Amino acid sequence: MHVTAIFMLFLVALMILIIGVIGGLYIYRQYARTQMHRFRTGWYSIPYDSSNKAPSNNNGIHQGLLADSDLFKSLKRASEAQEVIDNEKNVDSDNRKTTFKERFEIDLVNENYEKIDVPDFRGGRQGRFIHDFNINKTGIIDIDRQCCFVMPLNRQRVLPPRNMYDLLRKMYNGYYEVDTEIVKETMKVVLPPITDLSLVGTHIARECQDLPIYMLTKVNSNVVKRSISNSVFGQFAGKNIVEVNIVNAEDIDG
């Protein structure tokens, strides 16, 4: 009788364990599906001057968004992203000089967050832009220097998530050509790095976790000594190509 009771308890425990595992997998799958529908990700080639028009979807992967029925194709593995970059090697060298690639991640549910990766910007540094529309802040991750810069969100140049998604869809379908006018913004690092992460919001704080975070302030480019800067970051976020020049970024290297 004692052995039978133990055996029954074992079966009950096993059933509870199985139900827990199945329930956990179901919840995870639902969460993953929700996240997939919440975010849209994809690559796009941005023309860097007016002679190179926005690419259409008829000329191969390297010239447009990687798309599925929802416009964007999720890039789940870094190797897939690298494969896209490698495909650029098959493009004419002159064309490569007049384009740069961006990877977009857009929140279409809450519509308060965009992330734009620019791995190879001509004459500038590889960077990652995080636009938080809740707190009106833009974060820039310097990939090589391993630090973050934060400045006010420029809504005149950065479209909100839904508008950005619609614009990319029109560009992909050939209905819209990128405005390739280059707008330059000159910024200055405010030292020391901040310690209160509430100043930069949850999205930027998450992306800049374990990295020093510096606030940026705008300076008049006319009064800045003309010199060659090695801290220029570029992006296209809906209106114009914006180049952000951080004039004293080298001060944080010491």
Domain boundaries, the chain: 41-50+97-252
Q: Does the pLDDT at position 17 exceed 70?
A: yes
Closest CA to 141 of 152, 151, 131, 127: 127
pLDDT of residue 244: 94
Spatial contact of 110 and 98, defined as CB atoms under 8 Å apart: no
Distance, C-alpha 231 to centroid of its chain: 18
CA 173 – CA 171 distance, rounded (Å): 5
Q: Does the pLDDT at position 77 exceed 80?
A: no
pLDDT of residue 254: 55
What is the DSSP secondary structure assignment for residue 90, as one 8-state letter?
Answer: G
pLDDT of residue 55: 43
Average predicted confidence (pLDDT) for the chain: 75
38: pLDDT confidence band, cut at 50, 70 and 90?
Answer: low
Spatial contact of 79 and 139, defined as CB atoms under 8 Å apart: no
Tokens of 215: 């606030």
Q: Does the pLDDT at position 71 exceed 50?
A: no
Tokens of 128: 């990652």
Q: Does the pLDDT at position 139 exceed 90?
A: yes
The segment with the largest mean pLDDT, out of 37-41, 79-83, 129-133, 179-183, is: 129-133
Range scoring the smallest mean pLDDT among 52-61, 131-140, 238-247: 52-61
Which residue would you say has higher pLDDT here, 26 or 235? Answer: 235
Q: Is the dihedral of CA 74, 78, 80, 84 positive or negative?
A: positive
Tokens of 170: 């029109």
160: pLDDT confidence band, cut at 50, 70 and 90?
Answer: very high
Q: Does the pLDDT at position 138 exceed 90?
A: yes
What is the DSSP secondary structure assignment for residue 59, as one 8-state letter?
Answer: S
Spatial contact of 233 and 140, defined as CB atoms under 8 Å apart: yes
CA 118 – CA 142 distance, rounded (Å): 11
Residues 177-228: pLDDT tens digits? 777 788 999 999 999 999 999 999 999 999 999 999 999 999 876 655 555 5
Spatial contact of 134 and 70, defined as CB atoms under 8 Å apart: no
Tokens of 181: 């006018």
